[in-house]
Amino acid sequence: MSPVELFARGRLADLDAAALERLLDRAPHDDPGLAASVAAILADVRERGDLALLEMAERFDRVRLDEIEVPREAWAEAVAELDPTVKAALERAATNVRRFHAAQIPSEVSLEVEPDVRITRAWTPLARVGVYAPGGRAAYPSSVLMGVVPAKAAGVPEVFVCSPPGPSGRPPREVLAACAIAGADRLFSLGGAGAVAALAFGTESVPRVDAVVGPGNRWVTEAKRQVAGELVIDSPAGPSEVLVLADDESDARRAALEMMAQAEHDPDAACVLVTTSEAVASAVELALAAELATAPRAEICAQAFAIQGAILIAHDMDEAIDFVNRYAPEHLSVMTANALSDARRVTTAGTTFVGAAASVAFGDYLTGANHVLPTAGRARSFSGLSTLNYLRSYTIQEIGARGADAMAADVAALAYAEGLPAHAAAATARRRSQ
């Protein structure tokens, strides 16, 4: 059995500065060529609309599209042809996602900050959103659910999906079925930066939306970054990540399987084990080698381990958790004896799975939590996709005569201090003595 090639293996304290920096700095570095290429695609779609999209389908997806939009009849056919067990699983997942995300809708807040001065913060759904469901190496109907169902739970009237076309000119059958099960309104056979451009700017076939959400490759991520000033986007979501936190009581094979599960997504996936036990570290390494020997996607996994895989040994749990907080993984799997208390000490993970039974795979598909999460350490700043991404808040300010009279003098003083006399006049005109 061949040993596993890892980017890093050893004690945390012995990592050199360059290796540590590479583990922590996983965000794609600025690529002027990529940024320029994406900007050109955005500009082309903005200028030429559908014609540009059709040409891009031939160029990037190697398919000639007869139509950009997938008709609803095709969705219904896809549902009818779907394996009944897959259909039942998608429906169960949609139910759980809907229940959890509906519960996240914020309540209206109304407060009388002073007598006769009441401020209310209210929430309203966006009118129209676009969900990107990636394609390429696999079909991702689960990503359709994660994008569409929360939007519908939030009350968004129109939810559109874009997903890359396959050889047939349409996304995979599972994606079409997921659109029907999730309650999407329209589906377009579009992928990459062109899809983001179509949603952001609108074309003859694709209406402009108010938000674009969903994971994608570096072209999609860069396109979302560039259109962020035009509309709302969710967090930048790149290649999958998992960090497994283990101690001397952790199950080595389960830890290895968590790493394999994320590694099989993409050669750029980041998979790390941090443990306080040398024995567990060695056992996980052996388990990885055994799994790779028979895994159908072994080549992809092996590349991921070589590029961003690591098995690291911490002196104690304090050192381990400090590293986890600095690493800020997309997925954190805590398999320690004190899993819940250890998990609570980590504040930077996109989502955390507590205990040996809590595989990340459950959250990827069925628990109801969202699997669209910040990657590359961005969990320090961003949250995962939630109902809040589909809502906007606004304030209502009720000021009666008594409240206006009480505030006028102070408002005038501040306005004069800022050199804005008309502001002062507008306020003092509301005084009762005027």
Q: How many CB atoms lie within 10 A of CB 251?
A: 15
330 catalytic? Reply is yes
**Catalytic pick from 174, 222, 258, 330?**
330
Give buried/exposed letters for 63-97 (b at 16+ CB in 10 A, else e): bebeebbbeeebbeebbeebeeeebeebeebbebb
Please, are residues 213 and 221 in contact by the beta-carbon 8 Å criterion?
Answer: no
5 catalytic? Reply is no
**Beta strand pairing status for 117-125 and 109-114?**
antiparallel
Distance of CA 248 to the CA centre of its chain: 33
What does the radius of gyration of the chain's CA atoms come to, in whole angstroms?
25
Strand partners, 246: 275
Nearest CA to 196 out of 131, 113, 119 is that of: 131
Distance of CA 421 to the CA centre of its chain: 47
Token pair 């502001």 is found at: 423
**Catalytic pick from 91, 331, 418, 423?**
331
Q: How many CB atoms lie within 10 A of CB 118?
A: 16
Q: What is the spatial distance between Cα 405 and Cα 402, in angstroms, rounded to a whole number? A: 5
Token pair 């505030």 is found at: 407
Residues annotated as catalytic (active site), given as ranges:
330-331
